[in-house]
């Protein structure tokens, strides 16, 4: 076939592909509007398949779950399946369809099958984003502590305090400045190998607020913020959690 004969065919094929792509984007936008989610950004074919798992003791996991679920969905970046108070959701066969776990759980116990399901899921290249009592889940379990990168020690009274950014090169904290938050400040012991992105003072000593770490081929993000639904409604909680969740899932972090 001569070049002259090939050109119309190439143009026609390109037009068909462009039309199909445009139609696909229109369908995606309509579906997103129907579900109350923003359409995915250009270049991102579909939202992150996300398991939001909430439960445990003490904290208002239902209220927190409602706020975080809404934040994830309205961002347009996450396709959210929520599970309440059922750690069997961490078993390997139930995690197969997901790319990210967002986790809020206090105390309780985790079985070996549940724990290995989660850890192998992340080690295989997936993401785990947890906050506040995620550092107080399954208290005393050394495997889980190593996986998250730290654990809860205590907390002062619920109050307003200042958070300072200590790592400006991370996409999670890029462009952010120190900010005030009203929350329950978690004081945690942590592995010095984690990358601390932000901290806050208590009695003159800095304590980590945000950190990241690798786990095998995957990523873990932790935020000490988010004691209750009211705390989770604050803008800086939302911004850092959404950024951290995208990072954990291996996505380019965008707002």
Q: Residue 36 CB: number of other CB atoms within 10 A?
A: 10
Distance CA 73, CA 68 (A): 9
Q: What digits encode the pLDDT tens for the residues 226-249?
A: 999 999 999 999 999 999 999 999
The yes or no reply on domain 48-248 and CATH 3.40.50.970 is no
Evaluate if residue 136 carries a pLDDT over 60.
yes
Q: How far is residue 205 from each of residues 7, 199, 200, 209, 250, measured CA to CA in Å?
A: 69, 10, 8, 13, 32
Evaluate if residue 115 carries a pLDDT over 70.
yes
pTM for the model stands at: 0.83
The alpha carbon dihedral of 191, 192, 198, 202 has a sign of: positive
Q: Where do we find the tokens 């939202």?
A: 47
Distance CA 55, CA 75 (A): 23
pLDDT category at 31 given cuts 50, 70, 90 is very low
The alpha carbon dihedral of 225, 223, 146, 150 has a sign of: negative
3-class DSSP assignment, residue 35? helix
Distance CA 68, CA 226 (A): 10
Q: What digits encode the pLDDT tens for the residues 67-94?
A: 999 999 999 999 999 999 999 999 999 9
């Amino acid at each position: 076939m001569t070049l002259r004969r090939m050109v119309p065919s190439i143009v026609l094929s390109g037009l068909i592909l462009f039309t199909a792509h445009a139609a696909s984007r229109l369908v995606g936008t309509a579906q997103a509007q129907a579900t109350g989610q923003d359409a995915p950004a250009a270049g991102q074919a579909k939202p992150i398949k996300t398991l939001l798992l909430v439960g445990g003791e003490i904290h208002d996991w239902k209220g927190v779950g409602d706020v975080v679920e809404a934040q994830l969905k309205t961002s347009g970046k996450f396709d959210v399946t929520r599970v309440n108070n059922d750690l069997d959701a961490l078993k390997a066969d139930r995690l197969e369809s997901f790319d990210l776990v967002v986790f809020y759980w206090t105390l309780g116990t985790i079985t070996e099958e549940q724990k290995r399901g989660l850890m192998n899921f992340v080690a295989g290249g997936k993401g785990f984003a947890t906050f506040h009592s995620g550092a107080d889940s399954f208290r005393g379990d050394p495997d889980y502590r190593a996986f998250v990168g730290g654990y809860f020690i205590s907390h002062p009274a619920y109050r307003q305090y200042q958070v300072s950014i200590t790592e400006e090169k991370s996409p999670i904290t890029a462009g952010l400045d120190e900010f005030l938050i009203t929350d329950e400040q978690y004081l945690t012991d942590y592995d010095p190998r984690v990358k601390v992105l932000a901290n806050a003072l208590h009695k003159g000593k800095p304590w980590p607020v945000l950190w990241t770490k690798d786990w095998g081929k995957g990523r873990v993000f932790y935020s000490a913020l988010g004691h209750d639904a009211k705390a989770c409604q604050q803008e800086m909680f939302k911004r850092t959690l959404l950024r951290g969740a995208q990072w954990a899932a291996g996505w380019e972090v965008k707002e």
